[in-house]
A and B are shown apart, each in its own frame.
Chain A
Amino acid sequence: MANNIFFNSLPSHDRKTAKRLVSPAFIGIWVVVLFPLLYALYVSVHDWILSQGGIGPFNFSNYPDVLKDPLLINSAKNTVLLTASVVVLEICVGFGLALLLHNKQIKLRNVYLFILLIPMLMPPITVGLIWRLLLHPDLGIINYMLSLVGLPQPTWLASPVLAFFTIIIVDVWHETAFIILVLLAGLTSLPDEIFEVAMIDGANAWQKFLYITVPLMTPTILVATIIRMISALKTYDLVYILTRGGPGISTETISYYIYKVFFVALDIGKSSAMAFILLIVIILMTLVLMRVMNRVEQ
């Protein structure tokens, strides 16, 4: 991939250095990413169920077959809906909190920030287990608290719509920290002079926010959106712990479904085909988003 065309403008010794510097990472990516992917591609066009023996004959129909699988389609829908919900919520909440934390007049801002970052440090698996404990409809502390103030006590994970909603809430609890961090870093790097100029011009807080902060922050927000969107599309741990895809198939996400085809059905050929389709979809989506971003930046 390191094409010589791009070195033409450099002196030859620099060109060599540039290549040398890049090569370990280049090799690394080949070994740990590209080679496994090629192998997965090979496996994905073969019949192979682990408990029934070794790799079977070539079979391209894995691809059309899995695309017709209603459960895969259902999990894809769930994943898209989940991703859209959590990204929007987390960006809104995260941007709001980052703005508050950016205000230097708030004396305890570093304390708040530290606390707000803690969920990011917790393994999703423990987040799931903890929330299972907290949300137990009869024996959980949350419903007990709700009952004290006379509010209805929902059965958080027991009905399809509510379970989906609960996963969103837990995800927001867990992942907003990351958004706060990225956006606060972005806000901190904004030049103070612009705000000072605006102040002299007599702009009020709202105007400053709307005409200066938002436009300047748009690229950072987009980056945060893309990163978070990519990771939300991979949601697996929370579902595994909180609902196992239930009730019914209402919270089954695509990563969790593929995981099951791989490890429960031991169908290596089909699961590889599914993983490959997912990969292609994600890359296409990212390319589209990047194009949008470039346009926004210009």
Chain B
Amino acid sequence: MKKNLSIILGLVVIFSMVLSACAKTDQPATTSDKPFQGVTINVMMEGVPDTDYVQAQLSKFEEETGAKVNIEVLNYALMHEKLVPQLTAGAGKGSYDLIVVDNYWVAEFNRAGWLMALDDKIAASKKVKMDVYLPSMLEMVGTYQGKTYMLPFYNYAMALVYRNDIFTDPAVQEAYKAKYGKDLALPTSIPEYVELAKFMTRDTNGDGTVDVYGASMQGLRPDPTAMEFLNYLYSMGGLLYDVEGNVVLDQKVGVEALNYYVDAMKNAAPPGAPSYGFDEAFATVAQGNAFSYITYNWMVPVLNDPEQSQVVDKMKVTAVPGGAGLLGGWGWAIPNSSANPDAAWAFIEWVESFEIAKERALLGGAPTRSDVFQDKDVLAKYPHYSDVEKIVGDSIMFPMQSRAPQIVEVLGRVISETIAGSMTSEAAIQELITECENLRDK
């Protein structure tokens, strides 16, 4: 059965077989200036701004190499389901030549042996240099157990996005001082943040109902709430696993973090927040109904887009209070089932070159290279990127575990149960510790 599965899981219609067959016969015949004339590179990507920025640059690559790049844009929830059968296809038999891998799939994919090691290609490449990448990105979506399988594509380090106009409003500052006897300042820890968020949950037009919430939050199972909570946990000094993969979650720290999270959800977030996914939480901020939101740092350019937001130029970004938010990121990888690994590699070389990485960053993309972060033009357009670079460096990634999707599922469930009141935070953390132990790679 294993053999059968690995022989071919999910072959494609004749159409794409013909295409790839064409590709192979065409390759030697092409001239050297367009090395991949007639080749189609099939890529699976997620529908996020960074994907749009890649698509915006595509024609350059297609002109340079003659290859056609066919990007399939998918929703996150569907990607994993779609990728797994493709990745288990035999060498050269899958329908994706190039994929992007979310950091919490890295261990799963590599443990199953689905990704191609890139070390030889990197060594032979004149264009790719690994030392330009931020170490935290490389560790997360670059290497696995000493080998390089991915090139970091973009980061989604989480950060605190807040309304600077409210924060600097003298009336608000005065009210804060009157209440707490100290000056309004950016919170430096989760407890301070939750206190501030509760203070900022106010009725601004005097109609008797709250219209600005201190924190927009996303309580939907599984990943929205799990990802959000990890910022609280990490910033309060908790961790799920250590580097060796042992469960090190401390019951007391976990319970404390969860209590603050639930407190914020109940007393500083919109009443619907326990059911919000990213979209609803984002819309709350974009419509000007929230003071702050712990979210991906690259949402700032989106919040500054007048087509999508009413809070243009009012948002500022800073590190998650306490300093250690959740780091996320995506890496480019070539699956072993790729039918066109060489063309895929050429694409990676191109898309991760300094020029294109910079172009993407200028459009609003989230960099992974320090030279892009520190580029003059990029900083001129997005001054906050100097902060973001530090955030990316300080943030902590999701544990490198092959059953990470299931860990996220458990995490999302116990948090949601605590918010719903069907579980105490003590029981939730206890169950989390037990399940983390059951699910860890042994």
Contact = CB atoms under 8 A, between A and B. Distances in A.
B2 A55 contact: yes
A99 B388 CA distance: 64
B422 A249 contact: yes
A51 interface: yes
- Secondary structure dominating the interface of A: loop
B93 interface: no
Nearest to A162: B275
A53 B422 contact: no
A138 to B, nearest CB: 5
A247 B416 contact: yes
Nearest to B419: A247
Interface string B193-231: 000000000000000000000000001111000000000
B290 to A, nearest CB: 9
Given A138-B284, A244-B220, A248-B423, A159 B274 contact: yes
B220 A246 contact: yes
B272 A137 contact: yes
Interface stretch (A218-226, A257-265, A271-279): A257-265
A243 B275 CA distance: 7
A244 B417 contact: no
B200 to A, nearest CB: 16
A263 B80 CA distance: 8
B413 interface: yes
Nearest to A55: B1
Interface in B217-276: 219-222, 270-275
Contacts of A163: 275
Interface stretch (A24-32, A83-91, A150-158, A169-177): A150-158
A250 interface: yes
Contacts of A54: 1-3, 5-6
Contacts of B416: 246-249
Interface stretch (B130-138, B377-385, B399-407): B399-407
B81 interface: yes
Interface in A213-258: 243-250
Contact of B270 (A53, A137, A246, A260): A137
A139 interface: yes
Contacts of B220: 243-244, 246
- The interface size bin for chain A is 20 to 34
Given A51-B108, A263-B80, A263-B81, A156 B219 contact: no
A184 B419 CA distance: 45
A264 B422 CA distance: 23
A132 B220 CA distance: 12
Nearest to A54: B2
Interface in B404-428: 405-406, 409, 412-413, 416-423
Interface in A29-73: 50-55
A136 interface: yes
A160 interface: yes
Contacts of B81: 263
Nearest to B408: A264
A248 B271 contact: no
B289 interface: yes
Interface string B67-101: 00000000000001100100010000000000000
B363 interface: no
Contact of B274 (A50, A53, A246): A246
A78 to B, nearest CB: 12
A155 B420 contact: no
Contact of B275 (A52, A246, A260): A246
Contacts of A248: 413, 416-423
A120 B212 CA distance: 39
- The interface size bin for chain B is 35 or more
B3 A158 contact: no
Contact of A136 (B3, B88, B108, B280): B280
A79 to B, nearest CB: 17
A51 B403 contact: yes
Interface of A: 50-55, 132, 136-139, 155-160, 163, 243-250, 260, 263-266
Given A52-B112, A244-B222, A246-B413, 7 more contacts: A155-B274, A155-B275, A157-B272, A158-B274, A260-B409, A264-B406, A265-B409
A29 to B, nearest CB: 24
A264 B275 contact: no
A247 B219 contact: yes
B283 interface: yes
Nearest to B289: A138
Interface in B27-82: 80-81
B270 A138 contact: yes
Nearest to A157: B275
A159 B272 CA distance: 8
Contacts of B403: 51, 265
Contact of B287 (A50, A52, A139): A139
The 10 closest A-B pairs by CB, nearest first: A54-B2, A248-B420, A137-B272, A157-B275, A247-B420, A248-B417, A155-B271, A158-B274, A246-B221, A155-B272
A50 B81 CA distance: 12
Nearest to B216: A138
B221 A264 contact: no
B111 interface: yes
Contacts of B423: 248
Nearest to B270: A138
B271 A137 contact: yes
Contacts of B88: 50
A270 to B, nearest CB: 12
B172 to A, nearest CB: 21
29 contacts: A51-B112, A52-B111, A52-B112, A53-B2, A54-B2, A132-B280, A136-B280, A137-B271, A137-B272, A138-B272, A138-B284, A138-B287, A138-B289, A139-B283, A139-B284, A155-B272, A157-B272, A158-B271, A245-B221, A246-B219, A246-B274, A246-B275, A246-B412, A246-B416, A247-B274, A248-B419, A263-B81, A265-B405, A265-B409
A156 B68 CA distance: 46
Contacts of A157: 272, 274-275
B420 A136 contact: no
Nearest to A129: B279
Nearest to A267: B406
Given A246-B274, A249-B413, A260-B409, A159 B283 contact: no
A156 B272 contact: yes
B329 to A, nearest CB: 21
A159 B280 CA distance: 16
A246 B224 CA distance: 12
B402 A250 contact: no
Contacts of A51: 84, 108, 111-112, 402-403
A158 B413 contact: no
